[in-house]
Amino acid sequence: MTSLTRTEARGRAATVDRPRYAVELDLTHGETTFASRTVLTFAATPGETTFVDLKATELLEATLNGEPLPAEAFAHGRLQLTGLAADNELVVRATMSFSRDGSGLHRAVDPADGEHYVYGHSFMDAAPRVFACFDQPDLKAPCTFTVTAPSDWVVIGNGAATREGDVWHLAETAPIATYFTSICAGPYVSVTDEHDGIPLGLFARRSVQAQLEANAPRVLEVTRRSFDYFHELFGIRYPFGKYDQVWVPEFNAGAMENPGCVVLRDEYLFRSRVTGAELLSRDNTVSHEMAHMWFGDLVTLAWWDDLWLNESFAEYMASRCVVGTGLYPDAWSDQGIVRKAWGYSAERSPSTHPVAGNGSEDALAALQNFDGISYAKGSAVLRQLIAYIGDDAFVAGVRDYLQRHAHGNAQMSDFFAAMERAHGASLTAWTDAWLRTAGLDAIRVDVDWDDESDVVRRAEVVKVAPEAHPAQRSHALDVAGWTDGEEVVRARLTLDEDRRVVHELLDRPRPAIIVPNASDLTWATVVLDEDTLRRLPEQLAQVDDLAARVVLWNALRDGVALATVDPRLVVDVFAASWPLELDDSVLSAVGRYVPDVVVAVYLPADERPLARERVADAGAAALQAAEPGSTRALAAARVVASTSRDEELLRRWYAGRELPAGLAGDADFRWLVATTLAGDGALSVAELEEAHAADATVAGTLAWLGARAARPLSEDKAWAWAELTEQRGRSNHEMNALAGAFWRSGDTAVLRPYVERYFADVPAMCAWVGDDAMARVAKLAYPVQLAEPETLQRSQAAQGRSDLTAAVRRGIVDQESVLRQVLLSRDTYRG
């Protein structure tokens, strides 16, 4: 299939105007295909030629202005239209296929009861897998859907639904981009409500009705507060009528902001105990998707190089909302330890790109830029913009932008024209440095002090721009210092030059630790001085400033990746500090990062057992110190369950005996224990099959696949690899479960043959797996845990191939950069 280029989109937008869709879908034709009929009316330049996008299994009929189109007009996912009139009607009747990769109309079977569910994900270039359309964001159109479905199914879509027998009529929408259209159908159950005149609906699979009802009060509270907050902030009411949120199985992303029909992954309907960080993640996602109703849906980007106008703003606005409404006062720290850490990693990759103007020349290339830069860096840059022009000017500019471009499209110049009107001055230099240039500065504090008196004689904060992406960025930040838990200095400053004296540090005793960007206000790599690094194991836990602790953990993470911090030091800091941490987000994020990345990837294989024991001991210490049944206790128990080598303890927990308080009957915790036991070869295939039979749910099936793939023997790896790369019936989430657990255990001799197979077998999966799903599979299945020069050689050779899709190439490029980081770290810090 051909991917739409920017040049083609411009040409088509210049030819056609005022499109309107009436789409009929019949979902009663079986489990593999459905019928689609599109009536597309549009104005055009008379005599011109254009095309519609159509990814049909079979084209049955196509007429333009009453005249049949020839068979040869349909090829490579496009239907050519010639001899256009001033006003046109295109009718297309086709057979379409349900997908298993999370795009188009995805059809899933709930293993708990055998019921079938359909959801529509038209994102990027998937809408033509559902109906014939001008699939580009700047040809927004009203849409009407009529859906025929089995008699016991419910149909939800962008417009309000009415039913006549088995036929559902969805009200015409306001003008929306094709990538926002969605149809969800199946025996969904619901919880309904209303707020401020807006009908609210929550929908989920029938088998998880109890989970839906248990989670609904909190979700509805977040929904109501977010509506109130955004209505006041933007000065524009929600413009799309009703507001449904549908939790669906096997969704590729966290959620999708379809107006009136937000789709979310149903893992967010928690069935087990969760930490505060997980609850925040879900609730932040609810607010994030609502922010898109204004940034993305009401005002839509003109082309994908302005993706940041959608994602950076939703990312920023969601955190602002959950903080501003009092739902999560510390959400900015969660943004730092989770999202900014993700973004910093993306900046280190060769695939880094500017926040805006990312050069997406076609739709599939643009898909690769839905990453930590477009989300996390963009959000952080908006905070810097506010520090630069003030919040009042920022809010005024946002309102101006939304009002001027409501129900239309906009680009970067439109947004900054509004900001400059509010600010009263040009922002060109600022946007060039922060938005049009990739890379991030490194910021450190250079300190000299008298050895005898410990008094500081020189202190300068230093900014170093990356050689590959030089820019003059202005940073609003602070520098703070602590000694034995007491904050002894804090300097707030704007760093325009390359270095600046920190007068507040001079002529006073050197703090035990000095933290640049202590309030986590700017976007930069924080480089800690050697004395601070040396004293972190004893000092970090005593710092009572949450933002500073986040900055310190991110500095360690960045230092490991850049080979400026020994990963063994991170284990030391974890062992000393993590058991005393009180913040849920830090506990959860660091509790995953240290065992899963530092220990399992960066440390040499012969050092991992001891490091794993130290991590498990820290988890046990935190569990003992935590209040029984608290979220802190849950985070600690998970660390123990995932790292302990005490088979007797894990066996007792697996059997449901002597569990930490609150975890009796917790299916997800039991699977975590099972995966650790399986990875150590201590849980048999038969035992895993028995556990799966007892939890034959979507979540249980995914957990079983991961535990099964984690088993270390050669026959286990052969089974898992075949299930991943040869079994075409596996869903996107099932492939992720297999790929994510494959490399976590097994002797090097057992795993090494699969390095070569990765570069042969995974790209071949593109024949039946879509790009959105393949992006995740390619990343998860990459053999970064087998960090050897031979792995790097095979990876480099693979990049020379011309047959890699953009998604697979991006996965290889990004993971190869991590592989290089691991090899450099081991070479720098040889044990």
Say if residues 65 and 88 touch (Cβ distance below 8 Å): yes
| pLDDT number for residue 742 | 97
DSSP 581-605: ---HHHHHHHHHHIIIIIIIIIS-G
Say if residues 585 and 769 touch (Cβ distance below 8 Å): no
Per-residue CA distances from 442 to 347, 380, 384, 811 (Å): 12, 15, 16, 26
pLDDT, tens digit, for every residue of 318-354? 999 999 999 999 999 999 999 999 999 999 988 888 9
pLDDT at 380 over 90: yes
Q: List, in sequence order, the alpha helices (H) in 349-487.
A: 363-367, 378-389, 391-404, 412-423, 428-434
pLDDT at 241 over 90: yes
| pLDDT number for residue 806 | 87
Alpha-carbon torsion 303, 305, 309, 311, what sign?
Answer: positive
pLDDT at 831 over 90: no
- The amino acid occupying position 61 is E
pLDDT at 194 over 90: yes
> What's the whole-number mean pLDDT along residues 619-624?
97
> What's the whole-number mean pLDDT along residues 142-166?
97
Q: Residue 358: which pLDDT band, with cuts at 50, 70 and 90? A: low
| pLDDT number for residue 359 | 66
Q: Write out the two tokens for 783.
A: 């053999």
How is the chain split among helix, strand and coil, in percent rounded to 5? 45, 20, 30
Residue labelled with tokens 């739902």: 327
Say if residues 44 and 32 touch (Cβ distance below 8 Å): no
Q: Write out the two tokens for 371.
A: 């990453």
| pLDDT number for residue 1 | 60
pLDDT, tens digit, for every residue of 504-560? 999 999 999 999 999 999 999 999 999 999 999 999 999 999 999 999 999 999 999
> Measured between alpha carbons, how far is 75 from 53 in angstroms, rounded to an integer?
10
- Superfamily (CATH) of domain 299-434: Neutral Protease Domain 2 (1.10.390.10)
DSSP 131-188: S-B--STTS-B-EEEEEE--TT-EEEESS-EEEETTEEEEPPPSSB-GGG--EEEES-
> Measured between alpha carbons, how far is 324 from 319 in angstroms, rounded to an integer?
8
Q: Write out the two tokens for 719.
A: 């089974």
Number of CB atoms found within 10 A of residue 425's CB: 10
pLDDT, tens digit, for every residue of 657-714? 999 999 999 999 999 999 999 999 999 999 999 999 999 999 999 999 999 999 999 9
Q: Helix or strand or coil: residue 497?
A: coil
648 assigned to active site = no
Say if residues 76 and 1 touch (Cβ distance below 8 Å): yes
Mean pLDDT of the chain: 95
pLDDT, tens digit, for every residue of 179-189? 999 999 999 99
Q: Residue 765: which pLDDT band, with cuts at 50, 70 and 90? A: very high
Q: What residues have CB less than 8 Å from 135, skipping those under 6 apart?
A: 4, 53, 125, 127, 128, 178, 179, 363
Per-residue CA distances from 193 to 56, 243, 282, 542 (Å): 38, 10, 20, 46
Share of the chain above pLDDT 90, in %: 92
Q: Does domain 6-187 have CATH number 2.60.40.1730?
A: yes
Share of the chain above pLDDT 70, in %: 99
DSSP 729-748: T--HHHHHHHHHHHTTSS-H
Set 257, 289, 347, 581: catalytic member: 289
> Measured between alpha carbons, how far is 156 from 244 in angstroms, rounded to an integer?
8
Q: Helix or strand or coil: residue 465?
A: coil
